[in-house]
Amino acid sequence: MDWINIFDDVVQLISLDKAFNDEQLALAITSGSWMEPTLWRLLTMRPLQQGTDREHVIEEVCRLGTLLYLSAHWRILGFGPVWTVVVSRNLMLILMKHMIEWKELKPLLVWVLYFAAIETSDLAERSQLVFMMAVVTGGMQLSDWDSIMDVIKSVVWNERVFAGTDELIKEEVMAISLQNAMRPVLVETPPGFLEEFTFEQED
């Protein structure tokens, strides 16, 4: 519930904040004040300290994904955000360590993986995150990029901030998706994602 409350606030504030819809620097600096307490709330949350049950892992992954999403907005306002490379790496390691079922929350997972991939400058880690994203979207039967972007934008999106960022990963995601569709066994998949993908294929 902690993350849900923060996320609800983010969605509402993003929709109201005109700083991201025009280029008035003074307005941006003033209206950006809501981001400081929001980032602080996210940084002080520690869901995994409460355990590693499914709900705690999901909340931690979503917490890190929200930090990554807000980082780009923070940069627009002229501030240096948290180290996104480190956040992306931590997120990837959590996903690889904890095998959980996302079920109806898979759009959230795709959203998180998208921002983790575009916010890291480590090309090897980006490729790993992109591979995870391709596996999850393949399991959701999303066969084209527009459908994948529709899912991401349905969570929360800001066109002025993120327009064109999909070019960083689009071709790689679709290439992996095509390869995965042509073979039944994904031997390179991280253990958690392999088991999830196999389970979905057997349903």
Q: What is the mean pLDDT of the chain?
A: 81
User: Which span out of 6-10, 29-33, 80-84, 99-103 was modeled with the highest average pLDDT?
Assistant: 99-103
DSSP 101: -
Cα 122 to Cα 84, 126, 127, 149, distances in angstroms: 11, 6, 9, 23
pLDDT at 165: 94
The pLDDT value recorded for residue 22 is 53
pLDDT confidence tier of residue 132, bands split at 50, 70 and 90: very high
Q: Look at the chain and report how many structural domains it folds into.
A: 1
What is the rounded average pLDDT of the residues 80-84? 68
Domain that holds residue 71: 2-202
Cα(42)–Cα(3) distance, rounded to whole angstroms?
Answer: 8
Q: What is the per-residue pLDDT for 91?
A: 93
Q: Is 108 exposed, middle or buried (0-12, 13-18, 19+ CB in 10 A)?
A: middle
Cβ count near 180 (within 10 Å): 20
Check: CB of residue 91 under 8 Å from CB of residue 112.
yes
- What is the CB-side half-sphere exposure of residue 76 using CA atoms within 13 A? 24
Q: What is the mean pLDDT of residues 26-43?
A: 68
Kindly report the pTM of this predicted structure.
0.80
Q: Which of 3-7, 27-31, 56-60 reaches the highest mean pLDDT? A: 56-60
